[in-house]
Structure 1
Amino acid sequence: MSRDPRDTLRVVGGATLDRVDADAVRDAAGHLDAAAASLRSAAWDCSEAGRALERAVWTPAPWGEADPARPARLRRAGTLAGDTAGALGARAAVCTTLADRLRRAAGLYTHAESLAEQAVGAGVTVVAGAVGLGVTGFLRSPAGLPALLTGAAGLVVLSAAAPDPDMPRPAPPPSPSPAEDGDRGGWLLRTAAPFVDEALAGAGVGVALAAPDLAAGDLSVTGGARVLSAAVSAVLGSRPVHVDLVEPGEFDTGPPAGDHRPLADVEEALARTADLYPHGSGVPGRPTPGAPPGTVAVQEVVRADGSSSWTVLIPGTQALLSPANPFDVDTDLDLMAHRSADVADGVVQALADAGARPDEPVVLVGHSLGGIAAVALASSPAFRRRHRVGGVVTAGAPTATFRTPPGVPVLHLETTEELVSPLDGRSSTENPATADRVTVGRDLADSDDPVDRSASGGVATAHSVATHLRTLEHARALDSVQVAGVVGRIDRLLDGDRAETRYYRVRRG
């Protein structure tokens, strides 16, 4: 059943609301039941008092007493008693209704999935774990190692044979129209998407179990990523990372519009992050600058009082395996494994070259791989010794395994159908939730917006920055206290009186 897009939002974390404690909700329902029982008892007593007063009207007055107004007063008192009984009974009914609704809500939070979905999810986890264990065990066998080396070499050859990454890339084909929604297998994506986190969780455990030494004993998706990262690094080796200042003429059509204007809000920061892709942002109404591969943006915002803050915009994966561009799967694995990653090193170098000082706050904004890099840097004590983290914004990034520092506002935007955010084996509701860290998740397939429905039929469209911007738009329109809290704190760091944006190309070699 389709719903209003705002009804598809799942907001986790924030200053006012934290994760729901289902037991506490049930306790509250119990208190309401007790209150309803007390109110019903009081209503009964009032009813009995009213009936007694009515009988007293017809009872002769004691001998010697003569009060002609006595019957009228008794009738009035009886009426008041009856009215009070009715009001108390109504309040008892309201308490009972609220108690039932609280219990229903507790049940929804406790059993967000149906029993059938839970059973399927458990099965997917077990099967994926067995597959991960078997495949990794084979690759570590005498026959498997040559297969691994041959496969990795083949990937390198394919990457080298691919078109020159410096050449302009054509714009992606337009998204299917709403009329085409579901005609090309989108139903399969929508059906499988809710179980991707379980599948990845199981696969990660299986891979880590097959190579516990490489996983450093971590039987999780992070441990599995360590195994894969170590395998790829053994083939490709280590390469130094450099950053070069990108000149305006290196963009296909010139630097992104507004690069000397402060980023007014989180939406603008995300849109400009999408501009850094060589093939353009995919955000409707925005030009295609044609940034060189591996480009990040560093903006300094200066205010009237002379204070500065910085914003780093980091795009996502741009290659499978590349000898020159670190925005590839090799870096994805390094970041997921919590290892030193080339893109993160490039961001550190870019900030140093731009002149960011340790006391000036830095906001890290990233999409996909860039989002993992942003939250990894914010979680890194070494990075925080060099820079004061002012805020983090991620869109379509698996970030649940990282712990961000308290006091830093963090916003995560995720969709179920993109299949990227759950790569850490966690759904959006399982992300860490604190007063400073908020995740906004959404099931696009449940939305009655035809644009959302169309986007839910393809991983690329579900994962696009444009889709995540719509999610943030709906969260803003919903007046979510949690979202407004963290976004407002980040917005204040993005805005200022004047700005200067520098573009850096991060490269290997």
Structure 2
Amino acid sequence: MSWNMVSSVEGGHIAVADLRRFHAAASALRMAAASARREGLSWTATLMRIEARRPIMALCPASPWAPEDPRHRSLPFDLVGDRCREHARACRTLAETMESLASLVIRAGSLYSHTETTTRRIVNELLGTGMRMLPIPLLPLAAGATAATAMGGAMLGSGDPIEALTSTAFLHEGLMTGIGGIVAGLGVLPAAVMRDEVNRAADLLASATARITDLIQGNELKLTEVSADAPVAGESRDIADVLANLSRLGTERIDGGLGSGLSYGTIGIQEYRDATGRRSWLVLIPGTDGRPDSPFGWAQNVELMSSDPSRRMRADSARMVAEAMRRAGIGRDEPVALAGHSQGGIVAAAIASDMTGSFAVRHVLTAGSPIANHPIPQDVRVTSIEIDDEVVAALDGAPNPTRPHWVTIRGTRVRSSTGVGTPVDGAPDGKEISHWLRYHQAALADALDIGSPAVRTQDADVSSLLAGGLVSTTYWRGRMEPAPTRNQTRNR
């Protein structure tokens, strides 16, 4: 059985008048649905009354409703009963359709997003505070709950232990908040007013992991422009195109199915130019590949999550992308869209946050990236796509801000048999985590299908930024090497 994605939208700017219209439309649909359900109950009650009179009518020589009409010597109870059942079913179906439409209006208007986000923050802080007060009992409790959920899913015949991630999704951010507070050594009261416990913990850990990574990989970045032997990233006109190109690049550098010759540690930079000659740029940043000499290793994630801006920008992947952007010729005042998956999204958020004087980042698009606490400027649009049970996006321990320019699309996996949501293209029937880009692509498609004004505004901004034609696509490969010794430097 395949998967569908059901999306909700948080953040974005919706005028008060628009909110009133959404509320009014949802209310009207729900009232109409209630009326249709009452009508269906009336038909059911009519059927029951007719059936109750059936034994009495059998004793009458003619129907009292038409005594002079020989065609009605007996009432066609079966036919009347069938008509009543049909009308009752039609009323129930109409009610369900209108209730579904009301739900779509609510999702499209993000009417519950603020309340849901506030509730998540409260749950996170309560769970985090509890873990800091009693960390030893609560950690096994959380692990036991996850294991029990997985076992329950297996016993129910789903055969998918990963479903434990779905049922415990509401705990993920809170658990990370608690773990972050413990690692950072924060007290209960100070941490209660913070939301960046994870980032503070990451900064502490990065002070050690960065040194270890430099010893293993080396800290000398070797950046090379490489060519592709087959088309990989094509022209993008909207967010869906950007995600498709990012997905192809991310898959190609690992699997090489297109025969392009691109390998790990590779990003793409596209130049666009409109009729006036104005240049704009799209930077495609795939996620962690974990290769021994790649700038996109596992350890770099810790540095990118640091609360210290200078440490974030010392991460190998951030250094590589920034240097590639400079070499590609991106001007300081030329608008840039940064799109990244997983670690790539954290790199995009770090550059937008910490390099405001170097690049004119206008839009950040992330998929499955924990960036809630990155200080992205208010004038930069952010579109974040997160899946409830992918875990990675919850590693920041906090929900994303709900700002006019920051829109979060939250996707929830459901079985395709439910008949709701958007199918996940290429998703297997069995076990798979929802961190792969195809789930984020389906979440975006569902958010667009429900007509979310906030998502459409973000999509229009990307389309405007990439207006004109694609001029070129360049690919940049990074490798980490030990710093040259003094003798090697002299020989150069």
TM-score using structure 2 length: 0.64
| Aligned AA (1:205) | G
Can you list the C-alpha shifts for 1:427-475, whole angstroms capped at 9, x where unaligned? xxx3112111111112214773695597797563x11111111111111
Can you list the C-alpha shifts for 1:354-381, whole angstroms capped at 9, x where unaligned? 111112111100000000110111111x
Change in 2 beyond 3 A, CA 1:316/1:191: same
1:346 has 2:320 as partner: yes
Residue of structure 2 equivalent to 1:243 = 223
Aligned counterpart for 1:431 among listed residues 351, 376, 400: 400
1:291 has 2:262 as partner: yes
Change in 2 beyond 3 A, CA 1:440/1:107: closer
Contact 1:205 1:220 in 2 (8 A): yes
- Please give the alpha-carbon distance, in whole angstroms, between the structure 2 residues aligned to 1:181 and 1:397: 32
| Larger Rg belongs to | 1
Deviation at 1:505, TM superposition (A): 0.5
Change in 2 beyond 3 A, CA 1:458/1:196: farther
What is the correspondence of 1:448-459 to structure 2 with a 5 Å cutoff? 448=418, 451=423, 458=431
Q: Percent identity?
A: 28
Change in 2 beyond 3 A, CA 1:328/1:16: same
Aligned counterpart for 1:309 among listed residues 260, 277, 280: 280
| Aligned AA (1:439) | T
1:327 has 2:296 as partner: yes
Deviation at 1:109, TM superposition (A): 6.1
Contact 1:371 1:397 in 2 (8 A): yes
1:483 has 2:483 as partner: no
- Please give the alpha-carbon distance, in whole angstroms, between the structure 2 residues aligned to 1:481 and 1:229: 40
Residue of structure 2 equivalent to 1:275 = 248
- Across the aligned residues of Structure 1 and Structure 2, the Cα RMSD in angstroms comes to 4.2
1:126 has 2:130 as partner: yes
Can you list the C-alpha shifts for 1:246-285, whole angstroms capped at 9, x where unaligned? 123xxxxx3434x4x5322211111211222355689xxx
Can you list the C-alpha shifts for 1:133-179, whole angstroms capped at 9, x where unaligned? 999xxxxxxxxxxxxxxxxxxxxxxxxxxxxxxxxxxxxxxxxxxxx
Change in 2 beyond 3 A, CA 1:129/1:279: farther
Can you list the C-alpha shifts for 1:44-72, whole angstroms capped at 9, x where unaligned? xxxxxxxxxxxxxxxxxxxxxxxxxxxxx
Residue of structure 1 equivalent to 2:231 = 256
Can you list the C-alpha shifts for 1:288-321, whole angstroms capped at 9, x where unaligned? 746311000011111221111011100001117x
Change in 2 beyond 3 A, CA 1:307/1:279: closer
Tell me, which stretches of 5 or more residues in structure 2 are unaligned? 28-105, 140-155, 482-492
Change in 2 beyond 3 A, CA 1:306/1:121: closer
- Please give the alpha-carbon distance, in whole angstroms, between the structure 2 residues aligned to 1:310 and 1:446: 38
Tell me, which stretches of 5 or more residues in structure 1 are unaligned? 30-101, 136-179, 249-253
Contact 1:274 1:280 in 2 (8 A): no
- Please give the alpha-carbon distance, in whole angstroms, between the structure 2 residues aligned to 1:458 and 1:125: 33
Change in 2 beyond 3 A, CA 1:355/1:205: same
- Please give the alpha-carbon distance, in whole angstroms, between the structure 1 residues aligned to 2:186 and 2:456: 44
- Please give the alpha-carbon distance, in whole angstroms, between the structure 2 residues aligned to 1:404 and 1:120: 22
Deviation at 1:408, TM superposition (A): 2.2
Change in 2 beyond 3 A, CA 1:228/1:446: farther
TM-score using structure 1 length: 0.62
1:392 has 2:364 as partner: yes
Residue of structure 1 equivalent to 2:184 = 208
Aligned counterpart for 2:168 among listed residues 171, 179, 192: 192
- Please give the alpha-carbon distance, in whole angstroms, between the structure 1 residues aligned to 2:119 and 2:12: 27
Residue of structure 2 equivalent to 1:463 = 435
Residue of structure 2 equivalent to 1:230 = 207
- Please give the alpha-carbon distance, in whole angstroms, between the structure 2 residues aligned to 1:374 and 1:363: 9
